Structure 1
C-alpha cells in the first residue's frame, strides 16, 4: 500500500512539473525616491512629498523602546500631470542586526486614479534608519516604494 501511494505521488508531481507556468497576475514596480521625486506609472505618478513623523526605535542598545515605532510619509498622486490627492502612509520598517525588515502595507490607491485595475502600495521603507546619535534632516530621507498592479487577463 505504501509503495502504491508513493508511486501515485511521484506520478502526480511529474504531471505538475510538465504543466505550463502560470503567468504572473501582478506587475511589480519598485523605485527609490528622494524627497520631491516622483515614480511614474504610465500617465500616473506618485510623489514623495515629505516625512511627517519618524518615531522608529533607534538602532543599537543605547535606548530601550517599548514598541518599534513608525514612520509617516506624505505622498501625492498625479494623473496626466494633475494632482489627484494625497495620503499619509505609515510604515514600521525595523532594524534587526543591521538588516531592514519591511512591513507590507497593502494600501489600495486605485481610488486616486481613473482605472478599474487593482493598484496597491505593497511595501514602503524609509531610510536612513535612526541611529539615536543625530537627527535626520528632511533632505536625507529616501523612500523605497513598491507598487503592485493587477494585470489585465484575457
Structure 2
C-alpha cells in the first residue's frame, strides 16, 4: 500500500513541476490604431458593457465584458466582431483570436479585459484593453 501511495505522489509531483516551466507571455489589444505595418491587426474598438463583479464585492456570478474588436489587414478595415469575454466563452474567444494572431501567439492560456473593476472606482473607457496570455 505504501508503494502505491509513493508512486501516486511521485506522478503528481512530476506533473506539478512540468506546469511550472511554462511562462506566459502577453499581447495587448489596445484602442490605439497603429496601421503602418503590414499584416493583420486587432484593435479594441469599444467596450459595450462590463458587468464583471468588482473587487471588494460579493456577487452571485462572475459577470462578463462585451467588447467590439476591429480586424484590419494592413490599413484596410475587414470587420468588427462583438465578443463576450467570460469564463464560459473562453474556448469560443480563443478560437476567434487564434485566427488573427501570429503563429507564435496561438497557444492561448488566458483572455482578459483590463482593468478589472473595483468597488467605487469608475473606469475611464479609454483605459480598457484586452490582455491575451500565451505560451511560446
**Alpha-carbon distance between aligned partners in 1 of 2:71 and 2:130, rounded to the nearest angstrom:** 15
Asked if 1:129 is matched to 2:119, the reply is: no
What SS does structure 1 have at the residue aligned with 2:67? strand
Correspondence 1:50-129 to 2 at 5 A: 50-60=46-56, 63-92=57-86, 103=90, 105-108=93-96, 122=108, 123-129=110-116
* Deviation of 1:64 (Å): 2.6
Higher strand share: 1
* Deviation of 1:125 (Å): 1.0
Deviations 1:8-64 (A, max 9, x none): xxxxxxxxxxxxxxxxxxxx984223323459995111111121110000112xx33
Higher helix share: 2
Size of the aligned set, in residue pairs, is 105
Distance 1:30 1:134, change over 3 A: closer
Distance 1:54 1:39, change over 3 A: farther
What SS does structure 2 have at the residue aligned with 1:145? strand
Distance 1:107 1:143, change over 3 A: same
Q: Which residue among 27, 43, 46 is the counterpart of 1:47?
A: 43
Uncovered stretches (5+) of structure 2, i.e. residues with no partner = 1-23
**Alpha-carbon distance between aligned partners in 1 of 2:119 and 2:50, rounded to the nearest angstrom:** 12
What SS does structure 1 have at the residue aligned with 2:78? strand
What SS does structure 2 have at the residue aligned with 1:135? coil
Q: TM-score, normalised by structure 1?
A: 0.53
Uncovered stretches (5+) of structure 1, i.e. residues with no partner = 1-27, 94-102, 149-154
Q: Which of the pair has more CA radius of gyration?
A: 1
Contact 1:58 1:130 in 2 (8 A): yes
